[in-house]
Structure 1
Amino acid sequence: MTPAPSPPVALLLPGQGSQHQRMAAGLYGHEPVFTAAMDAFFDAAGPEGVALREDWLAERPVTELDHVTRSQPLLFAVDHALGKLVLSWGVRPAALLGHSIGELAAAVLAGVFGLRDATGLVLDRVRRLAGAPPGGMLAVAASWAEVTPYLSGDVVVGAVNAPRQTVLAGPDGPLDKVGRTLREAGFVCRRVPSLSAFHSPVLEPACRGAAERFAAVDRRVPSLPVHSAYTAAPLTRSDIDDVSFWARQPVAPVLFWPALEGLLATGDHLLVEVGPGQGLSQVARRHPAVRRGTSAVVSLLPARPGPPEADRAAVDAAVARVAAAGHPIVRTPVPHDRPQRPATAV
């Protein structure tokens, strides 16, 4: 009997809300490819790269990681570096799907942007967003249709992560008010780790002028298919050429579940989450293709923050699962006794 073909790999890259202290830091100085990719990002960030590296590796960061100037660039860097690690194993993904800032990391992995250009775009974005009015995000165990009657005061649907997992975004005061009303109505809600109202019109003034920055960098046809969580479809040449498409991503809603459905409509996949936590893995496990066992999910990192050894063990387990699914792995030897790089390295 001919064995069933191995399901193609699709990489899932998480965004805002998945960040945590020392995310993936257990791999730094331990996994050579990951370390080189992180160093390339810090180098591309110029003088800001020193502070970013120090806060990323610190037990007590100077700037908290939920602040836009830390969460966004470090999520982008970690997603990209983990994606480079998987590619280094000889795995060629059939698709990439990023959530929020994860889409920009996916675009770099696919060759749409160069890393240095993309790093400059991310840092320009966070400088703009740092001056936006304070706000936040609220995850609600409900559908878009169910939460719509409760929206008010510039609070909007910022993301559709699953059929009954909707994220609201807006200014702090109105968002808190909508949250209280939803809880009184019996809905389960929780704040998403964010100090900004991502994917809401609150950020629109801060994004003005960003299109000019995107217009100034090269954008190429992707070498790997990128499924956009903003269009719920694969990136087209028109999307890539449209600088406003990229500039407005902090304002536009994230349609992760429709994008995931579109991806899995093309066939079953091995979904590999390359980013901190397992938020997208948990969402993907709700999909019918995963529940019936024809598609599967692998997380590269632990579900919760832990010691450096937990990051390494999670990667080892992911390697075993990807290999068991029929994808041969060619792995760079890991120096298990190599000491952690100091936080002051530049």
Structure 2
Amino acid sequence: MGKNLQSPVNGKIAFLFPGQGSQYINMAYHMVMHFDAVREIWDKISEIDFGVEERLYNIVFPGYGFNEENKRRQTEKLTRTEWAQPAIGAISISLLNLLNKLGVKADFFGGHSYGEITALYAAGLFDTMEDFIRVSRKKGELMAEAATQEGAMTAVFTSSLEVKKILTESGTDISIANINSPSQTVISGKTSGIERVEKLLTNKGINYKRLPVSTAFHSKIIGKSTEPFYNYLKKIHFNMIENRVFSGSTGNLYPADTEEIRKILAEQIENPVFFQQQIENMYDHGVRIFVEVGPGAVLTGLVSDILKDKKHLSLSLDKKGQDGLISFWNAMGKLSSCGVEISCETLWKEFKEPEHRFAGLVGRDTEIEIKKTEKKVRYSVNNGAKFDDERLKTLQILQQNIFEAHKIFQKTLTESHIRFLQASEEALKQIGGIKTAAEISSPENDLIKNYLAEEHYEERKTEDIREKPEDKIYVPSVDYKKIILQTASEKTGYPEEMLDLNMDMEEELGIDSIKKIEILSDLKLRLPDSCKMDTDKLALMRNFREILDYVTEDLSEKKKILS
């Protein structure tokens, strides 16, 4: 989101396309199932043969994993460069096709790392969609082949200047891969070197997060793939395009010469990404609305960080953990509020209005046929008139009787099952001398006990629960709730009054793990008593309520110790 969204944001529109690391299993599947414009792209992509047993859709939408091990293997396979890049590209261009059908057009295009290839596709560089997908696949294959050494990438939540000092101090050959925003810099290199730098970051109290990538992109580790990729690109026909695509390698607009474009794309594999500079240059060209077209919302957060003091709107069409339709229509609503024209009628132009309606018809009768064994019974509904009151009353009584019978059936089934379990346990106890469930404390056993108690109780006595002085909760004078919500509002762009402590950060607010670390890092600076809080524990918490409880509990323990 942007600054001062109470008033509409006017200006040019840019489409931003994400790079590797944004992928996740079943990404945007709600959109694929709901919109023909998205599905038709996947129908074409499913026909592309990569010379292996699986097709791309098998990797992106592998079906339910049933257990954590299967889910881990599915995610691991999608993370491989040769699959991740065409997968992200496929999701991005399918959403792009939907935007085109809705009449939402961009003035400029940009991408993060691999996303630049998608941006060039959106600008018309490739003859066909298949060329784009095959280029994406080839780039991933060559990068995987070149990565003969174990490599990794880590996002560090501080300025690039500070990161440079730390890298020099580490004595490693780790290099800066991405300058993403004023407060996020990504480093890349050998895994052993990355681990050494991470220890140094921990000692300095600087937060970081290891990225879900298969190797060290934008480093010397995959430098060997640059020349083979350039040679492959020479076999692909490039169209002349308008000067509308920004390069992350330079931060500036791509040249018109197709040969120069090939060189930039090939060298980009090893060169660092200057995403912050790219966004700032887009802003200088009049862009005020940034739409992330692809899986996740990482770029949306980065844009908000880069332009936090400038009026703009940054939004994503997809958020991991949130229903894709909700994310998409929220984005369309924000665009519409800024005066962007959206032709929603194109979504249902192929649907025909039904010739007859059940009710509300004016000036004609509608006949409803109800088949009963071999004969037909006809009821005439004139201008939406109701059925006979007597029949309706009979139907209601019948439904009520069915409902009551079902309740009795469920109750009888439950009681029978409980008695069966109790009899079985008693028999086992007599045979082997083991404890029964009645003697073991467990959530399931407590549930059964509560059920039986509720069935036979006549009157419950309320215990006189008195608060023990030593158990009093320490209430801090600082308004920690307000601090937490204020920090979340500033980091995400959501108005503070929209936030609730019980909101799920990932599923309801679309806050990814990187953005969560940024929020927690800022909280550690703002909360005076939280300097020793365990960031790893905080990162596992799903909502702000858990964070607040953790903070106040920590302070309570400190208060008890002092007293």
Q: Which amino acid aligns with 1:79?
A: S
Q: Which one has the bigger helix percentage?
A: 2
Aligned letter for 2:318?
A: L
Structure 1: stretches of 5+ with no match in the other structure:
337-346
The answer to whether the 8 A contact 1:233-1:262 is kept is yes
| Residue 150 of structure 1 pairs with residue 166 of structure 2 | yes
Indicate the residue corresponding to 2:315 in structure 1: 298
Q: 1:215 aligns with which of 225, 229, 234?
A: 234
Aligned length: 328
Q: Which moved more, 1:175-184 or 1:104-113?
A: 175-184
Shift of 1:173: 1.1
- Match for residue 341 of structure 1? none
| Deviation (angstroms), 1:291 | 4.0
Segments of structure 2 that go 5 or more residues without pairing to the other structure are 1-6, 66-73, 352-563
- From 54, 57, 62, the equivalent of 2:61 is 57
Deviations along 1:236-256, whole A, 9 cap, x unmatched?
A: 124653422212222111111
Contact 1:41/1:116 (<8 A) preserved:
yes
Q: Is the 8 A contact 1:55 1:63 kept in 2?
A: no
Q: What is the match of residue 24 of structure 1? A: 28
- TM-superposition CA deviations, 1:48-79 (whole Å, max 9, x none): 59432012112343852222122211111112
Seen in structure 2, the aligned counterparts of structure 1 residues 4 and 19 have a Cα distance that, compared at 3 Å, is closer
One-letter amino acid matched to 1:129: M
Q: Which residue of structure 2 aligns with residue 279 of structure 1?
A: 298
- When residues 287 and 147 of structure 1 are mapped into structure 2, their CA distance, relative to the original with a 3 A threshold, is closer
Does residue 8 in structure 1 map to residue 9 in structure 2? no
Residue of structure 2 equivalent to 1:141: 157
SS of 1:29's equivalent in the other structure is: helix
Rounded Cα–Cα distance in structure 1 between residues aligned with 2:97 and 2:241: 15
**Fraction of identical pairs, as percent:** 24
How big is the shift at 1:264? 0.2
Rg larger in 1 or in 2?
A: 2
CA distance in 2, matches of 1:194, 1:116: 25
Distance 1:295 1:4, change over 3 A: closer
RMSD, aligned α-carbons: 2.4
Contact 2:241-2:256 within 8 A present in 1 as well = no
Alpha-carbon distance in structure 2 between the residues aligned to 1:243 and 1:298: 30
* 1:43 CA displacement: 2.8
Normalising by structure 1, we get a TM-score of 0.87
In structure 2, do the counterparts of structure 1 residues 62 and 270 end up closer, same or farther at CA, with 3 Å as the change threshold? closer
Q: Could you tell me which amino acid in structure 1 is paired with residue 183 of structure 2?
A: R
Task: Judge conservation of contact 1:219–1:241 (CA < 8 Å) in 2.
Answer: no
Out of 270, 284, 296, the position equivalent to 1:251 is 270
- Residues 1:6 and 1:45: Cα distance change in structure 2 (over 3 Å): farther
Distance of 1:223 and 1:49 partners within structure 2: 39
Look up the equivalent residue of 1:10 and give its one-letter code. Answer: A
Distance 1:224 1:300, change over 3 A: farther
Question: Higher relative contact order by CA 8 Å / sep ≥ 6: 1 or 2?
Answer: 1
Aligned to 1:76: 89
Matches within 5 A, 1:88-167: 88-114=101-127, 115-131=129-145, 132=147, 133-151=149-167, 152-167=171-186
1:333 Cα deviation after fit = 2.3
Query: What residue is the counterpart of 1:192 in the other structure?
Result: 211
Instruction: Write the letter of the residue equivalent to 2:139.
Output: R
CA contact (8 A) 1:77 1:105 kept: no
**Which of 21, 41, 47 does residue 45 from structure 2 map onto?**
41
Q: Secondary structure at the match of 1:12?
A: strand
Q: Describe the shift of the 1:5–1:101 C-alpha distance in structure 2 as closer, same or farther (beyond 3 A).
A: closer
TM-score (norm 2): 0.55
